[in-house]
Amino acid sequence: MTQASSGPLLSIRNLTKYFGASPALDDVSLSVAYGEIRGLVGQNGSGKSTLIKCLAGYHSQDLSWLLELPGKELTRALRPGEITAFGVAFVHQDLGVLGDLSVLENLLLTEFANDHRRYIGWRAERTKAKEIFEQFGLDLDPAAKLSVLRPVEQAQVAIVRAVLQLRSAKQADHPGVLVLDEATTFLDRAGREGMYDLLRAIAAEGSGVIFVSHDINEVLNVCDAVTVLRDGRVVEDAPRSELTHDDLVSLIVTGRRGAEVISRPARRETLPVAPAGGASLEIQGLTGDLLDDVSLTVHPGEIVGVTGIVGSGWELVVEYLWGARRAESGTCRLGSRSIALEAMSPDKALGLSMVYVPSDRLRESIVPDLSLRENVMQPVLAKSFEKGRLRLRRLTNACKEVLEKYAVAPAEPSMPMGLLSGGNQQKAVLAKWLQTDPLYVLLNEPTQGVDIGARQRIYELVRGAAARGAAVIYASADWEEVAGISNRVMVISEGRVVERIEGADISVDAIAQGAYLGMRRSADLSKAAALLEDA
């Protein structure tokens, strides 16, 4: 929906950026027109982040470009944050919102940071906030504490704040550009819908949007045009109408159209024979928070998908089972052993040969400052402890071996974990746990924020673990993924298992049907009907 305009709102031309001797970006051009939502896609390491960092003024050296904004042309690098004054605002993956503050306080954070007013008229600000929410069709209470909002709503607050920032920029005579840097990564499918509506409303006002994402479906859903980066070069710049899902996948992975790439695991029809070893894992009457009397069984060698829509509580199944949170009641039976889930804790679970991969990688599963060796080898330290001390060299060698085996790049044990790409971090986390040959593997959104290449590898690793006899619970909001990898799928809606799908019956449609038809809340039913019509 490009409006009549004189030239682009923002245009980057011939951006080249070197890190040392090698170019991270090589002659990259990207422009955003008035009212345009511009997708920016590419694997981790393709240069997306570098490009955004150049715009944000985070890279100042070895950079050449021509940056055009309405009434402004620059060839020099920007200072950090300088571009906000030219009407470009960012929303990052972590959203930059504070849970302890109210929605209104969060909205005003930026203004407080940039403006030196002496008095805050809270009543007027509240009215203003309500107006802007109304304008974008959002049903948010300015007085609510942010942490009680759903993740989608928190993201919406962050986006509205960025819009306010655009409006208060010095050059408010043009509509400004909003940059969403993987801001949807931590939202689930149903939640993202609310995001798209908001973005379309913002674009309808004339603002441009740069939408950085891993998720091809959402890019195709919301963007007017897409730029694909690969190895620091633009391999495609096309309107949405000229692109298909397969085109994009192929472009991202190979740099050209028409190559055969499987972005989701192919269905595996036959149930593998359970190898001898571990007993089945049986959950009975799991209750707590949203969950209400959930029971499920996972056999050795089997992958059971657990999914549903946002807020239905599907992710709680693995969190309670691992003891990451305390359930109210429920039991877990492993063969002859029976464990009360209200007394479960991660160390107990670990002792039962369970492992758990949390969904929030940055906060829950890696220590970015510590080396790969210290992160990955943590569960097996005892193996290298001999004659009264840790054999560090042996530990390093063992780590290198594990990293190579699990295709973590670079396989450099001394490298700080935080320097790896998201995909490699996640492979390293899987390596950390799968090297212990666990009997029970609990996964919570294992491919969140991970590029396509690494995804493939992660699916292989998960299947490998199952093939060796592990019982796997695969909790994910990505229905295609769940449908592709699971032998059985439990669909959870409003805290109850509403659908059990097996074997050849597993499909995205079947999951969608279960998830939406299982809902009782009237507000969501209309959405459900709409989605089913689409399908």
Write out the binding residues for other proteins, residues 489-518 only, by CB under 8 A: none
Q: Judged by CB under 8 A, how many residues of this single chain contact other proteins? A: 74
End-to-end Cα, the chain, rounded Å: 25
Write out the binding residues for other proteins, residues 124-163 only, by CB under 8 A: 158, 161-162
The answer to whether 445 and 429 are in contact (CB under 8 A) is: no
DSSP of 431-480: HHHHTT--SEEEEESTTTT--HHHHHHHHHHHHHHHHTT-EEEEE-S-HH
**C-beta neighbour count of 285 within 10 angstroms:** 15
Write out the binding residues for other proteins, residues 312-371 only, by CB under 8 A: 322, 324, 346-347, 349-351, 356, 358, 362-370
Tell the smallest beta-carbon distance from residue 49 to other proteins (Å).
Answer: 6
Q: Would you count residue 81 as binding other proteins (CB under 8 A)?
A: yes
The answer to whether 42 and 230 are in contact (CB under 8 A) is: yes
Q: Are strands 37-41 and 225-230 parallel, antiparallel or unpaired?
A: parallel
Q: Return the number of the residue (17 or 192) whose C-beta is nearest other proteins.
A: 17
Interface segment toward other proteins; rule CB under 8 A; list 81-89, 248-256, 289-297, 526-534: 81-89
Q: Return the number of the residue (61 or 241) whose C-beta is nearest other proteins.
A: 61
DSSP of 92-124: -TTTT--TTSBHHHHHHHHHHHH---S---HHH
Tell the smallest beta-carbon distance from residue 356 to other proteins (Å).
Answer: 7
Residue 85 in tokens: 């004054």
Tell the smallest beta-carbon distance from residue 520 to other proteins (Å).
Answer: 33
Q: Return the number of the residue (259 or 367) whose C-beta is nearest other proteins.
A: 367
Which residues make beta-bridge pairs with 39? 211, 226
Give the span between the Cα atoms of 307 and 474, in whole angstroms: 8
Cα 104 from chain centroid? 26
Q: Return the number of the residue (256 or 325) whose C-beta is nearest other proteins.
A: 325
Q: Would you count residue 7 as binding other proteins (CB under 8 A)?
A: no
Q: Would you count residue 447 as binding other proteins (CB under 8 A)?
A: no
Q: Pick from 2, 26, 27, 53: which binds other proteins (CB under 8 A)?
A: 53
Tell the smallest beta-carbon distance from residue 269 to other proteins (Å).
Answer: 35
Tell the smallest beta-carbon distance from residue 406 to other proteins (Å).
Answer: 17
Write out the binding residues for other proteins, residues 33-52 only, by CB under 8 A: 44-45, 49-50, 52
Q: Pick from 205, 246, 282, 412: which binds other proteins (CB under 8 A)?
A: 412
Write out the binding residues for other proteins, residues 84-113 only, by CB under 8 A: 84, 89-90, 92-98, 106, 109-110, 113
Give the span between the Cα atoms of 497 and 247, in whole angstroms: 37
Tell the smallest beta-carbon distance from residue 507 to other proteins (Å).
Answer: 33
Q: Return the number of the residue (170 or 363) whose C-beta is nearest other proteins.
A: 363
Q: Return the number of the residue (161 or 488) whose C-beta is nearest other proteins.
A: 161
Give the span between the Cα atoms of 516 and 492, in whole angstroms: 10
Cα dihedral across residues 424, 425, 428, 434: positive or negative: negative
The answer to whether 315 and 475 are in contact (CB under 8 A) is: yes
Tell the smallest beta-carbon distance from residue 257 to other proteins (Å).
Answer: 26
Q: CB-based contacts of 492: which residues, under 8 Å, 6+ apart? A: 291, 294, 306, 307, 308, 312, 313, 314, 317, 498, 515
Distances, alpha carbon 96 to alpha carbons 147, 158, 169, 197, in Å: 13, 7, 19, 21
**368 three-state secondary structure:** coil
Q: Pick from 156, 165, 312, 456: which binds other proteins (CB under 8 A)?
A: 165
Q: Return the number of the residue (80 or 275) whose C-beta is nearest other proteins.
A: 80
Write out the binding residues for other proteins, residues 378-407 only, by CB under 8 A: 378-379, 381-382, 385, 388-390, 392
Tell the smallest beta-carbon distance from residue 6 to other proteins (Å).
Answer: 27
Tell the smallest beta-carbon distance from residue 215 to other proteins (Å).
Answer: 15
The 413-442 site mask, x for binding other proteins (CB under 8 A), equals -xxx-xxxxx--------------------
Tell the smallest beta-carbon distance from residue 398 to other proteins (Å).
Answer: 14
Q: Return the number of the residue (25 or 466) whose C-beta is nearest other proteins.
A: 25
Closest by alpha carbon to 208, among 11, 41, 32, 54?
32
Closest by alpha carbon to 120, among 105, 98, 142?
105
Tell the smallest beta-carbon distance from residue 117 to other proteins (Å).
Answer: 17
Give the span between the Cα atoms of 527 and 277, in whole angstroms: 45
Q: Pick from 1, 7, 14, 19: which binds other proteins (CB under 8 A)?
A: 19
